[in-house]
């Protein structure tokens, strides 16, 4: 699994701070920073453009599967709450009485 967005943002900020602390030349830093941003944007932008049509192949079956999972999950939660409702209410009433 790859890094999450917060660690990438932290690395970008840390890289800029280190470049300043190490007296990296501003012009060279700007060149590398700008070229890195351009490559990143091109990679993700072109990737989304080139493989965007594949979402149509996956969205239909995945949407149906996710809907089924959501309905089953909500049903299971409802059943569980109804099954333990009396126990939960008794525990809440006991806790409320003990706190007074």
pTM: 0.44
Alpha-carbon distances, residue 32 vs 6, 15, 37 (angstroms) = 21, 11, 9
Compute the average pLDDT of residues 12-37: 87
b/e string for 3-28 if b means 16 or more Cβ within 10 A? eeeeeeeeeeeeeeeebeeeeeeeee
pLDDT digits (tens, 9 = 90+) for 46-78: 888 888 877 777 777 888 888 999 999 999 999
- The domain locations on the chain are 1-52, 53-100
Q: What is the pLDDT of residue 77?
A: 93
Percentage of residues in the chain with pLDDT exceeding 70? Answer: 94
**Which residue has better confidence, 32 or 52?**
32
């Amino acid at each position: 699994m790859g890094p999450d967005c917060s660690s990438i943002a932290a690395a970008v900020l840390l890289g800029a701070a280190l470049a300043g602390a190490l007296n990296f030349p501003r012009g060279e830093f700007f060149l590398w920073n700008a070229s890195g941003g351009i490559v990143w944007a091109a990679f993700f932008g072109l990737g989304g453009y080139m493989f965007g049509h594949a979402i149509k192949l996956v969205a239909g079956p995945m949407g149906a599967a996710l809907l089924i999972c959501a309905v089953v999950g909500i049903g299971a939660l409802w059943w569980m709450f109804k099954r333990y409702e009396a126990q939960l209410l008794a525990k809440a009433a006991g806790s409320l009485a003990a706190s007074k």
